[in-house]
Amino acid sequence: MSHSIRQIRDNTTRARHLMQRSRQQKFAVGAFNVDNQETLIAVARAAQKLNSPVLVEVSDGEVEALGLENVRDMVDNYKTEYGVEMYINLDHSPTVENCKRAIDAGYEFIHIDISQANHDATEEEIIAKTKEVVEYAKFTGALVESEPHYFGGSSNLHEEKIDYEEIKKTFSTPDGTKRFVDATGIDTFAAAVGNLHGKYPVPKELDLELLSKIREAIGCQISLHGGSGTPLHFFENAARIGVSKININSDMRYVFRTTLEKVLADNPKEYAVVKLMPAVFEAVQSVVEEKINAFGSANKAVT
């Protein structure tokens, strides 16, 4: 069901208030990717149990699988059913056109990532297209997120170790961050301080000193992508520093698949898959709850 412009603006206003609260009260909001209904239910149940605000996010491939409007409807339905504070984030959208479609559909958070489709995109091109989305989003009030270069990794289980000497070459800098934020007018800056997409055989390490300097350099919100596989104390400190949004995907996908594989192996004669899903729900929900507690967002929902 399509939202009226008044409904959309009411939702984006609440989303902006949430980001303000996160800064004032020193917590971060979890942005959890979904590519199926079961994962969405697990996120909603975790949000209800811990009274936490959450973002449900979908990348380009997840939008293609589920449908842009369908995601809007499903989130609205479960938000009402579970009585939770829940918003939608379009994650790493590679085109201006797709961002505009999501804004029109009432998505409260929009991440424009030109370098996702073109890793060699120039900063000038990224700035120009980001500004176009920022201007378009003013009609609904949607919050726009971006970064000036490609963010590495992928949301899979990686076998290679992390080459931090190579990754450090792509770290955000306070001066560069400020220039980009000032040039684009974005609401949220996606910082690179050791966070990396995917789940690796070694824990990730965040440069919290650099993160603090970036926080001091800009007034807008800060997000951390690639949160999976990160020791929880980094999240606790990042929230205190002033990070407002942390993305989680691979940790959820990993536990979804491994739990489902076990349930299928334990029940070889059961063909009603819906009967096998409760254990999967619970496993994914546990991951979401763990992150919510680390982010400090439990009991921060306003419904």
Q: Which of 10, 35, 73, 91 is catalytic?
A: 91
Which candidate, 61, 56, 52, places its Cα nearest to that of 74?
Answer: 56
Is the separation of the CB atoms in 197 and 155 below 8 Å? yes
Q: For tokens 């994914």, what's the residue?
A: 284
Clarify whether 91 is annotated catalytic: yes
Is the separation of the CB atoms in 198 and 226 below 8 Å? yes
Going from the C-alpha of 170 to that of each of 81, 214, 262, 295, the distances in angstroms are 42, 14, 39, 25
**Which residues have CB under 8 Å from 11's CB, separation 6+?**
3, 87, 106, 108
CA separation for the pair 113, 91 (Å, rounded): 8
Q: Would you state the structure tokens that stand for residue 191, as one six-digit string?
A: 């910082």
Catalytic residues: 91
